[in-house]
Amino acid sequence: MNRSNNNSDRLFSLFIVIVLSFFILAARLYYLQIYKGNIFKDLSEGNRTTVRVIEAPRGRIYDRNERVLVSNKLVYSVAVIPSKVNDLDNISSILSEILEISYEEILNKLSEADSRDTVLIKRDISQKELIMLEEIKREMPALIIDQIPTRDYINDNFASHLLGYIGEISRAELIRFTDSNYRIGNLIGKTGLELTYESYLRGKEGRSLIEIDNRGQKIRTLGVESPTPGYDLILNLDYDLQASAESLLKGQIESLIEEAKKDEEITLLPTGGSVIVSDPNDGSILAMANYPDYNPNLFVNGISSDDWLALSNNPRRPLMNRAISTSAPPASVFKIVTGVAGIEELGIEGNTEFYDPGYYQTGGVRFGNWYTGGQGNIDFIDSMAWSNNTVYYKIGHQLYNKDRNLLQSYAREFGLGSKTGIDLHNESSGLVPDPEWRMNHFQRREDTIWYPGYTINLSIGQDNLRTSPIQLANIVNSIANGGKLYQPLLVDKIINSDGEIVKDLKPELLNELPVSKNSIDIMREALESVTQYGTARNVFADMPISVAGKTGTAQTGSNRPNHGWFAGFMPAEDPEISVVVFIEYGISSGNTLPIAKGVIREYFDLKEDIENRDGFEVELEDEFEVNLSDDI
């Protein structure tokens, strides 16, 4: 009996335990599925996958000896996933305060982007910005802080005009490159080689598939498609030669500015200049210096308003590539063209004599020589050596009498009036004025007539003739190589990350001058005479390397200094390089010569102490623009 009661008690206790367990389990299920159901549903749905873009590093840029000129570096960046943002205004306001970017700029980026995209807000954030963003990141799952590659112009201002700079893609560019998979926030080449070779340098973005929690924190990586780096550029440029040209150009211009400030008659100071060194045998560019210059690193992460205004409002135009965009009278350098035309069309030889009374007169108008007393009897070679204007006035007038477009035709054969096709944007075409141009350019009938005086003035590189330094480089190169005009090239080859050649850029022949070997030979002798005993003798006569070249002092108008030019090649007998120097408002051609000499010494490794004499005297030619009357 007692045993039976004990069993009943045990069964009852077990029953109570089972019932209580059931109620506890039911209550727990109610708590989890009903009371906390929505919370856990949100948490479970918060663990999702997302695709993040992995930016591709741009291709690097090397000089001819594979010295790195432009590379990439890793920096911290902040981005936003618009699809995870409930309040665009709020996040834009917070980021604006931390990153010191305008609220409107951030809001526009987020509003215009595809909500599925990751929108880059700022690259290369500071340590302070990084700490502040990390503090708020847990409360803002839309924020992504990551390391990405960005451009690094290693040598700051070095070769800035030819290398160019990059910047964030604009709305207009996004529309233009709709089929090229660019996104808001992408960097794109804006100028220089960065722009010309954008499609090669850009690379291909990668993707990573990651699992994230509800706070946007990464749980694990599910898959990665690695980015493909952009192709590298190997330039024809020589680093040491470029550095030397830049230093010489800057030093001379700054020195001229200081001297000009002391002269009350000078109303405009020298503003800038350029130096081009090329191989006349194929047109490759070994150096291209411009001054003033700028630092392309300013543009990589978005240039500040102050920096942009300082560059864009600077009257010396530091952003301008004067080597290709200048449009100025070439002055006596153009006598190369006039001389070759005279040899070809008028039967002139090196010993052909002319008489110079100090001027040339026709139709009642007198065109003066820079040497007002005249040089008497002078042959063609010596006329080039001393840059005798009278001789070239006569040649120009005779060419006009034969055909009023004849001199212009030769100018165009030498490539003037057209772009050279150098692998850079914003090249100037220049201008070769002729009767048709005058007819279309002016309104009054009397201004539309092409009088012989215009050709006479054109013959010494004045009038409305406009050229760029790169065009004059082509002219002297064609004399140096026997009559061929090549497309100037900065890039030699394009290679992939494995060093394999993707594209080998070969020199393109633009034109072969329709002139005889005799014309070329006479002109080469004439140009060498310039440096041996002519206008440039005091600078080059002591050089162990023979130099052939031509100086030019271009008038710019009343109360403004002249432009200075030098264009030549060396060694004269077997040319390896050509050098063109231009100084805008540089007062005279004599101021270009120390630069040219320094570049030659650098290229040929002339270490002996050859003085660039301070205060040297150069016989300077002054070309005259005249007021032309109807009877000329």
Determine the pLDDT at residue 295. 98
DSSP tag of 572 = S
Domain boundaries for CATH 3.90.1310.10 within the chain: 49-235
The residue among 559, 543, 539 whose CA lies nearest residue 551 is 539
- Where are the extended beta strands (E) located within 347-450? 353-356, 359-362, 365-368, 376-379
Over the chain (632 residues), the average pLDDT of each successive run of 10 is 57 64 61 49 56 87 97 88 78 82 82 71 83 80 82 96 94 85 88 98 87 68 86 98 98 93 80 97 98 96 91 96 96 98 98 96 91 94 97 98 97 98 97 95 90 96 95 98 98 95 95 97 98 94 93 83 95 97 93 97 78 41 38 32
Fold (CATH) for 239-296+326-603: Beta-lactamase (3.40.710)
Using the structure block, give the residue that is written with the tokens 């804006």: 190
Determine the pLDDT at residue 558. 64
Determine the pLDDT at residue 181. 83
Domain boundaries for CATH 3.40.710.10 within the chain: 239-296+326-603
Q: Say if strands 48-54 and 577-584 run parallel, antiparallel, or are unpaired.
A: unpaired
Helical (H) or strand (E) element with 68: strand 68-80
How many C-beta atoms lie closer than 10 Å to residue 208's C-beta? 17
Determine the pLDDT at residue 615. 37
pTM of the predicted structure, to 2 decimals: 0.86
How many C-beta atoms lie closer than 10 Å to residue 351's C-beta? 10
- Residue type, position 223, single letter: G
Determine the pLDDT at residue 455. 97
Cα distance between residue 208 and residue 52, in whole Å: 5
Determine the pLDDT at residue 299. 95
Cα distance between residue 32 and residue 159, in whole Å: 68
What phi and psi, each to the nearest 5 degrees, are found at residue 448?
-85, -5
H runs (alpha helix) in 52-102 = 88-99
Determine the pLDDT at residue 18. 67
**In CATH, which superfamily holds the domain spanning 49-235?**
Penicillin-binding protein 2a (Domain 2) (3.90.1310.10)
H runs (alpha helix) in 197-334 = 198-201, 239-261, 297-300, 305-312, 322-325
Determine the pLDDT at residue 21. 65
Determine the pLDDT at residue 618. 44
What phi and psi, each to the nearest 5 degrees, are found at residue 436?
-65, -45
Core vs surface per residue 545-578: b (16+ CB within 10 A) or e: bbbbbbbbbbbeeeeebbbbbbbbbbbbeebebb
Give the number of C-alpha atoms closer than 13 A to the C-alpha of residue 234, restricted to the C-beta side.
16
What phi and psi, each to the nearest 5 degrees, are found at residue 602?
-65, -45
- Opening angle at CA 493, ends 490 and 494, nearest 5: 115
Determine the pLDDT at residue 251. 97
Give the number of C-alpha atoms closer than 13 A to the C-alpha of residue 475, restricted to the C-beta side.
33
- CB neighbours of 175 closer than 8 A, spacing ≥ 6? none
